[in-house]
Structure 1
Amino acid sequence: MPHTVRIWDLPTRLFHWSLAVTTVALVVTAKLGGNAMQWHLRLGYVMLALLAFRLAWGLVGGRWSRFASFLPTPARLRSHFANQEGKVTSPGHSPLGALSVFALLAVLLAQVGTGLLSDDEIAFAGPLTRFVSGEWVSQATWYHKDVGQFLLLGLVALHLAAIVFYALVRRQALVGAMVHGDRQLPGATPASRDDALSRAGAALVAALSALLAWWVASLGAF
């Protein structure tokens, strides 16, 4: 008999959709250029805060939001690829999905980091450019504009394709679970903690993450 289990806690869901909206907005403002670059810079700080939150929440968040719960170990990957019937073997991210998550986080961190070190030599300079040599700034700017954005777009495309595949072929509604937090699972499964105390802890982590982003932004004012 199927069991309804809370897999994604509210903080994780809010992070997920905030990340999606911020990523789209960053891509759009980068393509528009001009005055939109001021918003691109501000959104970069929002992305920094979001990533800092997720890294911390991956250690202390709900059970299935913790990195330890979905590390794509060789054993988990072998089990996943041997599963020809498409049965749900991972309550949270599948091993293949976990690879996508870690890759996306790594590319976003690289994109934010190089953005903070970039200088377009016209109207924009990241707050960390004064701490490194011109060669580092040049390399960071090149990666941010010519490499990182294409890696990010490619990973986003793969992510969307995987969602469609799971919906049409595996008959698993991944999007719905990230909206309401619950999944229908074939057996009893421990739920993620998602009570008032957990959410209060997430709010504190979010505040500290925002404070970190503000501090990094303030470095460019000196």
Structure 2
Amino acid sequence: MTADSSRILVWDWSVRLVHWLMVVLVPLLWWTAEEGYMDWHRGFGLTMLGLVLFRLTWGLIGTWTARFVPMVRRIGTLTLYVRKLRKREQGATFGHSPLAVLSVFALLGALTTQVATGLFSVDVDGLESGPLAVLVSFETGRWLADIHEFNFNLLAGLIGLHIAAIAAYQFVLKEKLAGAMVTGRRSRTDFDAGKLPDNRLRLVRFIAAASLSVVCIVALASFG
């Protein structure tokens, strides 16, 4: 077996790119809001919206480890996985572990709520608003702005838990997760013997998901 064939693709490049762009955008969105750079904040917010839309679409038509259906099925093994985890008997999971699935859904839910409420939010003076704020009343826009602010604190907490979990896997359980999110690959020997799902990226599906995101962003930017 060659060096290349001994390492298999776990995370396709689009999943990794979206992940790391989100990592960069979250602190930028926080900073631009805190400093009052609202033009930049709206631009970064629309970019985040595009990434979230792509990830949600990719969860339906993307590579096997990116899709939501296998993740939902894996939740059924959560109790067994936690039991093995406590005994440190868990094996490497091809894709998301049952606990990681819960983390993914929580983070995507919080990010979706954040970008959705941002579209309609209005500041206390009514001077700064999201691109769709004209569709709701001032009171509704303020209510959504409050949710937007509260949800960011929730999102920050979830991100903190996510980082802590990765650190625990990396340094306590000695399972190297971070490297795979950079290279996309892990050693074939990390997983049980047997056939693994086909995880190749289909270009036509990627173009469809990316095009949907771009069209939505352009439409919202024009609307605003």
Q: CA deviation at 1:171?
A: 0.8
Alpha-carbon distance in 2 for matches of 1:199, 1:74: 29
**80-89 or 102-111, larger mean C-alpha shift:** 80-89
Alignment partner, residue 207 of structure 1: 211
Query: What amino acid maps onto 1:91 in structure 2?
Result: F
Matched, 1:158 2:161: yes
SS in 2 for 1:85: coil
Percent identical residues: 37
Matched, 1:125 2:129: yes
Alpha-carbon distance in 2 for matches of 1:158, 1:140: 25
Where do residues 32-181 of structure 1 align in structure 2 (5 Å cutoff)? 32-33=35-36, 36-71=37-72, 75-83=76-84, 84-120=87-123, 121=125, 123-145=127-149, 147-181=150-184
Structure 2: any 5+ residue segments left out of the alignment? 1-5
Residue by residue over 1:61-92, the C-alpha shift from the partner in whole angstroms, topping out at 9 and shown as x without a partner, is: 11111111222665311111111224225211
Alignment partner, residue 191 of structure 2: 186
Alpha-carbon distance in 1 for matches of 2:175, 2:203: 27
Residue by residue over 1:25-62, the C-alpha shift from the partner in whole angstroms, topping out at 9 and shown as x without a partner, is: 111212222xx221110011001100110011001111
Structure 1: any 5+ residue segments left out of the alignment? none
Q: Structure 1 residues 169, 75: closer, same or farther in 2, change over 3 A?
A: same
Size of the aligned set, in residue pairs, is: 215
Q: Structure 1 residues 117, 213: closer, same or farther in 2, change over 3 A?
A: same
Alpha-carbon distance in 2 for matches of 1:186, 1:138: 50
SS in 2 for 1:5: strand
SS in 2 for 1:71: helix
**109-118 or 86-95, larger mean C-alpha shift:** 86-95
- The answer to whether the 8 A contact 2:64-2:199 is kept is yes
Q: CA deviation at 1:135?
A: 2.5
TM-score (norm 1): 0.89
- The answer to whether the 8 A contact 2:81-2:90 is kept is no
Q: Structure 1 residues 189, 163: closer, same or farther in 2, change over 3 A?
A: farther
Q: CA deviation at 1:189?
A: 4.5
SS in 1 for 2:186: strand
TM-score (norm 2): 0.88
Alpha-carbon distance in 2 for matches of 1:161, 1:20: 15
Which has the higher relative contact order, 1 or 2, with Cα contacts under 8 A spaced 6 or more apart?
A: 1
Alpha-carbon distance in 2 for matches of 1:90, 1:192: 15
Alpha-carbon distance in 2 for matches of 1:141, 1:31: 14
